[in-house]
């Protein structure tokens, strides 16, 4: 089956579900989410059956099919499945803030939009031409605008949506400007052409175009200085959207960044300058992300800053592209993103469970959890430890590989900023542990967690510990 039929299938599935949604009775909109999960799982199966679109010359020009593409497509599908699972337990809150409060009426479209966004991300993973990159990026981003502002009776969600829309539009402008510079310098929109036509004369134009594209990608990924939208948008959006943004959107941003940066890193004319630019981005992102998280009292906002900090570590791994270590930049990035997937979705499931119980996203809502629900508190401790980068959890391996690559490339300043970042991380992550175990809450009632959420959290946490001892399976997926 030609690989580009995968995205067509996901879009088609989204459209079919949209039609179904229009005609399904009110009480059963959650079936759309279940069908969506089923469609995405089937998509995962199809992923193994797909093969390169060699016979189709137009497609081959726009569509890459290599291990990188396969990994990020699988990642997007899994992220979509996780988000829809999170929606199942979150839909009461979603329903409260849409057109008809306390009825599931308007929640059905949410699930379909996730599928469209996943399709966009899958295409972004394969985009080897600037035009297809742009189109797929826009598909994802515009869908995400709607997903962020979805809870339209909630002022926070609307504000987040407007912020995201305006800043996203500006970043799209930068992207198009950068694309036009690169087109002007190389004469085509193919990314491979950059490597072929690079020379001393047009390297300046190419670097300028790259800088503009990097601004846009920095927006997508949440790197300094384009990170300012992240705390507000993550805090205001519905939790499944935040989780989806935090994991999948970031991953697809990195997928695109890897493809765009590849010709620049591999060509000796621009390699040093590109390393410098990305290393500066990495250092600044690690510093700002970690330090700004310290005063946070809202767990959702803290997770937003943590996602900025983690993006910084991934950028550190990318900056070490030419380090001649055991792992390539794609493998370091892919590994970190896989581990990040597990930890972040676990954290968001926990957040959603606490929100269901207490109605608040504050860290104070975790108080007394050690006595009110010891099992959940224990799982949260492990997830927090993984986010902080404690050894024997998978989170440590992600940071280890990033640091190892950076040491191999001798990027000492970003590494020292990384030290500060990790130490700061221990403080702001352990604030959650402090709240759960040291602080007593006024409420002493047990915190109930829905069975589905609990099983997902337990499975994700189990994987975090297992991969903390035995991380080889992820590297097998990455083709190492």
Partner 1 sequence: MSVIFVLIPLLAAIAIFSGVKARLTALIASGLILFLGLGSVFCWQADVWSISFEVLATPSIHLAMGFYDGISVIMLLLSVIVLFAAILHGGAPEGREKLWYASSLLIGAGAIGAFLSTDLFFFYAFHELALIPTFLMIGILGKGERKEAAWKITIYLAFGSIVLLAGLLWLVNASGSESWLFKDLLASEIDPAAQKGIAALLIVGFGTLVSLFPFHSWAAPAYASAPTPVAMLHAGVLKKFGLYGLIRFYPMVSEGMQDWLGLLIVLLLGNILWVGFVTINQKRMDTLLGNSSVMHMGYIFLAFAALIEAGSASANTIAIPAAVVLMFAHGISIAMLFCLSDSIQKRTGTLELADLGGLAKAAPKLAFLFGLAGMASIGLPGLANFSGEVLVFLSGFESYKGGPLGCVQIATILALWGVVISAVYMLRAFRKTFQGPAVKNSTGVADLTFMEKMPAMILAAALLIVGLYPNSLLSLLEGCGCQVSSDATEQSDN
Interacting residues with partner 1 (CB under 8 A): 325-327, 378, 381, 385, 390-392, 396, 400, 403-404, 407-408, 415, 418-419, 422-423, 426-427, 430, 433-434, 437-438, 469-472, 475, 480
Q: Are 162 and 149 in contact (CB under 8 A)?
A: yes
Quote the least distance from Cβ 419 to partner 1, whole Å. 5
Closer of 128 and 431 to partner 1 (Cβ): 431
Long-range contacts from 290-296, C-beta under 8 angstroms, 24+ separation = 290/420, 290/421, 290/422, 290/424, 290/425, 290/428, 291/420, 291/421, 291/424, 292/231, 293/424, 293/425, 293/428, 294/424, 294/427, 294/428, 296/363, 296/428
Of the two residues 47 and 390, which places its CB atom closer to partner 1 in the complex?
390
Nearer Cβ to partner 1 (366/403): 403
Closer residue to partner 1 in complex, CB, 160/327: 327
Q: How far is the CB of 344 from partner 1 (least distance, A)?
A: 20
Please, what is the minimum distance in Å from the beta carbon of residue 280 to partner 1? 20
What's the rounded Cα separation, in Å, for the pair 141 and 372? 40
Smallest gap, in angstroms, from Cβ of residue 403 to partner 1? 6
CA angle 182, 406, 270 (to 5 degrees): 25
Residue 23 burial (CB count, 10 A): 6
Question: Minimum distance between the CB of residue 374 and partner 1, rounded to whole angstroms?
Answer: 8
The smaller minimum CB distance to partner 1, of residues 76 and 433, is found at 433
Per the CB < 8 A criterion, the answer to whether 134 and 231 are in contact is: no
CB of 30 to partner 1, least distance (A): 34
- The encoded tokens of residue 390 equal 């404690």
Q: Which is nearer to partner 1, 166 or 423 (CB)?
A: 423
If the CB atoms of residues 161 and 312 are measured against partner 1, the closer one turns out to be 312
Check if the beta carbon of residue 69 is closer than 8 Å to that of residue 47: no
Contact between 316 and 418 under an 8 Å Cβ cutoff? The reply is yes
Find out whether 403 and 325 touch, Cβ atoms under 8 Å.
Answer: no
């Amino acid at each position: 089956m030609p690989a580009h039929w995968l995205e067509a299938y996901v879009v088609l599935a989204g459209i079919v579900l949209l039609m179904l949604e229009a005609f399904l009775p009110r009480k059963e909109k959650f079936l759309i989410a279940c069908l969506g999960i089923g469609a995405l799982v089937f998509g995962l199966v199809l992923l193994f059956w797909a093969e390169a679109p060699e016979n189709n010359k137009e497609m081959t020009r726009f569509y890459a099919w290599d291990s990188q593409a396969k990994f990020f497509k699988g990642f997007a599908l899994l992220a979509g499945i996780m988000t829809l699972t999170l929606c199942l337990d979150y839909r009461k809150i979603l329903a409260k803030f849409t057109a008809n409060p306390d009825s599931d009426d308007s929640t059905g479209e949410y699930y379909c939009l996730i599928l469209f966004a996943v399709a966009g991300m899958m295409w972004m993973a394969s985009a080897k031409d600037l035009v297809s990159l742009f189109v797929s990026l826009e598909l994802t981003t515009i869908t995400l605008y709607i997903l962020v502002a979805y809870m339209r009776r909630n002022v926070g969600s609307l504000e987040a949506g407007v912020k995201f829309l305006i800043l996203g539009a500006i970043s799209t402008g930068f992207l198009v400007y950068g694309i036009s510079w690169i087109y002007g310098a190389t004469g085509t929109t193919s990314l491979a052409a950059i490597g072929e036509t690079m020379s001393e004369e047009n390297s300046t134009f190419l670097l300028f175009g790259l800088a503009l594209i990097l601004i846009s990608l920095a927006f997508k990924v949440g790197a300094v200085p384009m990170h300012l939208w992240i705390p507000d948008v993550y805090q205001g959006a519905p939790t499944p959207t935040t989780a989806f943004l935090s994991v999948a959107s970031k991953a697809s941003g990195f997928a695109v960044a890897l493809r765009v940066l590849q010709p620049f890193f591999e060509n000796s004319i621009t390699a040093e300058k590109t390393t410098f630019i990305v290393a500066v981005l990495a250092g600044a992102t690690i510093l700002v992300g970690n330090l700004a998280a310290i005063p946070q009292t809202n767990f959702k906002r803290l997770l937003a800053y943590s996602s900025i900090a983690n993006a910084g570590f991934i950028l550190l791994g990318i900056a070490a592209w030419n380090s001649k270590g055991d792992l390539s930049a794609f493998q370091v990035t892919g590994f970190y993103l896989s581990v990040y997937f597990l930890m972040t979705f676990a954290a968001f499931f926990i957040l959603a469970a606490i929100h269901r119980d207490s109605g608040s996203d504050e860290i104070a809502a975790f108080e007394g959890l050690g006595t009110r629900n010891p099992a959940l508190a224990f799982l949260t401790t492990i997830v927090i430890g993984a986010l902080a980068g404690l050894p024997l959890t998978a989170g440590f391996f992600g940071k280890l590989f990033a640091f190892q690559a950076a040491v191999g490339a001798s990027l000492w300043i970003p590494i020292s900023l990384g030290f500060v970042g990790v130490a700061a991380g221990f403080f702001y992550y352990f604030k959650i542990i402090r709240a759960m175990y040291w602080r007593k809450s006024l409420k002493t009632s047990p915190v109930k967690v829905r069975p589905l959420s609990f099983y997902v959290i337990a499975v994700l946490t189990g994987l975090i510990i297992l991969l903390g001892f035995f991380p080889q399976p992820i590297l097998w997926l990455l083709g190492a």
